[in-house]
Amino acid sequence: MLFHVRMDVQLPPAMPVAQADELKKNERELAQSLQRSGKWRHLWRIAGQYANFSVFDVNSVDELHALLTSLPLFPYMKIEINPMCRHPSSVRDTDA
């Protein structure tokens, strides 16, 4: 199942830089591991914002929820999720 996910990150301005850096480092490691596993198919920065567009390929909504809530930055994210299915006019046969 494919989901388009938008994540907007808002760290509290008062958060110490060292804590923010540690969270970002841990987030990056997990995000890269999930990309290598194929679960996190796409990760794009939204230009000019501390936000991203992502595409996740998971087996269930429960798996997506577990994955998103496991992210170190999850407590500081606003997340918007859109389920996707194949478009009948798509020419990309492998994109399912």
Ligand X SMILES: O=C(O)C[C@H]1C=CC(=O)O1
Binding site for ligand X (CB under 6 A): 7, 9, 27-28, 31, 43, 52, 73
Measured from each CB, the residue nearest to ligand X is 52
Nearest residue (CB) to ligand X, 47 versus 91 = 47
How far apart are alpha carbons 62 and 17 in whole angstroms?
33
The answer to whether residues 52 and 44 touch, using CB atoms and an 8 Å cutoff, is: yes
Alpha helix (H) residue ranges in 1-96 = 17-37, 61-69
Nearest residue (CB) to ligand X, 66 versus 86 = 66
Distance of closest approach, residue 13 Cβ to ligand X, in angstroms:
17
